Amino acid sequence: MTLEPAVLVLEDGTRYPGHAYGARGRTLGEVVFATGMTGYQETLTDPSYAGQIVVMTAPHIGNTGVNDEDPESSRIWVSGYVVRDPSRVVSNHRATGSLDDELVSEGVVGISGIDTRAVTRRLRDAGAMRGGVFSGPDALLTPDEQLDLVRGAAAMAGRNLSAEVSTVDGYVVPATGDPLGRLAVLDLGVKTSTLNYLAARGFDVHVLPQSVTLDELLGIDPVAVFYSNGPGDPAASDQHVELLRGVLRQGLPFFGICFGNQLLGRALGYGTYKLPFGHRGINQPVVDVETGRTEITSHNHGFAVDAPIGVVSESPAGFGRVEVSHVNLNDNVVEGLRALDIPAFSVQYHPESAAGPHDANYLFDRFRDLVLATQKDAHA
């Protein structure tokens, strides 16, 4: 394991010296922490992490290496990677290589050998902030030069990253369950497991680029529409909000996850806001308001919907009654929305989480049931 010097620099001037890990050079982004002890390969390849330097709170990372089965997309999306103790040995029958080598091959600059829990405490106290990892020749820059680069980087608030992570050309994932019809999926950073779960419910999944128009979307004659997870500030995605309003006016069933939840909130007329340090990891308790059941869920979001909890409200955009369907038990943040007069619902967390937990996987069945009920009502 290399002992080349590296340093993590936060925009408040805090410095964490360590060792180079992965590619050498410099990387800038929003520094966030993720609390999962498993699933690091899914985290790295989740497009929702685009533009972010991810700090892993679990101390030992990389012991199972990397493989060709677990990626959630075609590449690593994190801007940088921060770990305490990278594994020196790969030990797993599915492994095709080491995490260190994978980071090098994909040009991801990382750092190891620092107290990641101290970084986490700093981010919890001060909030997620811009930062940079410097190694190789960039480790020799003066502290002032490094800090100037960090403070000159783009902030996450106000950023629209959908075009960076979305597919350029549409494609189809055929249904593997009982056929239900075509599903239009707006790719805002969609994950492989999401597409597989939707196909298993009988949808022919048509994945569309984020630039698609309403006419193009309706041209595939979908039975429903789905908005995926993705990075960026929902306040910067006006075109996707207007597209969704057009979908809702057509009466098509809608399901949104993560970024899709925030965009449904905006389409219904509610606001969004940036959380201090966000929710990231696989151990967030969320209550389903309708059933009272608490689910342990996977999260990756820095923004949330500002909607009234505990009451049924009128959509400010004229789509009828709306209720908050799920609430985070840690901080009372809105984790789901359900429209009562149109066939639309969404959740802020990740029921598709490939690394677990799978408490909320039933939501894909709920979506299928919603589509079937809408079709039945249309033929009644």
Catalytic residues: 258, 350, 352
CA distance 108 to 285: 31
123 φ/ψ angles, rounded to the nearest 5 degrees: -70, -35
Residue 268, C-beta contacts closer than 8 angstroms, at least 6 positions apart: 315, 316, 317, 319, 322, 337, 339
Residues 86, 87, 92, CA angle at the centre, nearest 5°? Answer: 140
Torsion from C-alpha of 160, 267, 166, 72, nearest 10 degrees? 110
Q: For the chain, how many helices (H) and strands (E)?
A: 10, 20
- 144: tokens are 């002032």
Region of 38 please: left (phi>0), alpha (psi -120 to 50) or beta: beta
- 60: tokens are 């030992």
Residues 135, 139, 142, CA angle at the centre, nearest 5°? Answer: 155
Residue 132's Cβ-count burial label (10 Å; 0-12, 13-18, 19+) is buried
Bridge-partner residues for 205, per DSSP? 173, 183
For helices 362-378 and 192-200, angle between their N-to-C axes, nearest 10 degrees: 50
How far the first Cα of the chain sits from its last, in Å, is 67
CA distance 80 to 86: 15
